[in-house]
Amino acid sequence: MYYYMFPTAFGYAAILFAKEPFLVKRVLLPHSRKSLIKKQILGTGPATAARAREAHNLCQDIQAYFNGSPLEPPWRLLDLSSLTPLQRLALEAVGAVPRGSTLTYGQIAEQIGRPRACRFVGSTLARNPFPVIIPCHRIVRANGSPGGFSGGTEMKRRMLALEKTNGIVAQ
């Protein structure tokens, strides 16, 4: 496995990927310090720093997202092989949530034909290997509170604020 680390307006982020064929295995959300993202990379197992054209392009897209640009999930570049069909369906539903919008875990459960599966949706999103790309930060609790997020609720709030203000980063 390989990694590509890069700066964003929210801190240092990284993607983990396979080269042949190029497939993104995981996206690591930004951290304020480079050492924290390196530590997280090391925690994923053996990974080697590498540059690949596809990785570079995707990282530029993620950087642009954190500067206020839209980001569409590049489904063909994502390694979804470890997901069950229902997990994939849930992530596809989340991938379709428009920028600047939010839905609840229950609404996603209804969209995938499992209206009582709110917890399933929540646990699937908690393990989303592609945060930012598959915008799980757009999914909130039924009462409107943020709910969980692998980058923390403060980052979730900042990302939602970024999307609602057309690129003005909320501090």
Find out whether 84 and 31 touch, Cβ atoms under 8 Å. Answer: no
Q: Report cis status (omega within 30 of 0) of the bond before 21.
A: yes
Q: Is 119 helix (H, G, I), strand (E, B) or coil?
A: helix
- Between CA 62 and CA 56 the distance in angstroms is 10
Structure token pair of residue 116: 């009582």
Nearest to 120 by CA among 132, 108, 129: 108
Residue 136 catalytic?
Answer: yes
Find out whether 139 and 104 touch, Cβ atoms under 8 Å. Answer: yes
Of the listed 93, 94, 121, 136, which one is catalytic? Answer: 136
Phi, psi of 141, rounded to the nearest 5 degrees = -70, 165
> Which residues participate in catalysis according to the annotation?
136
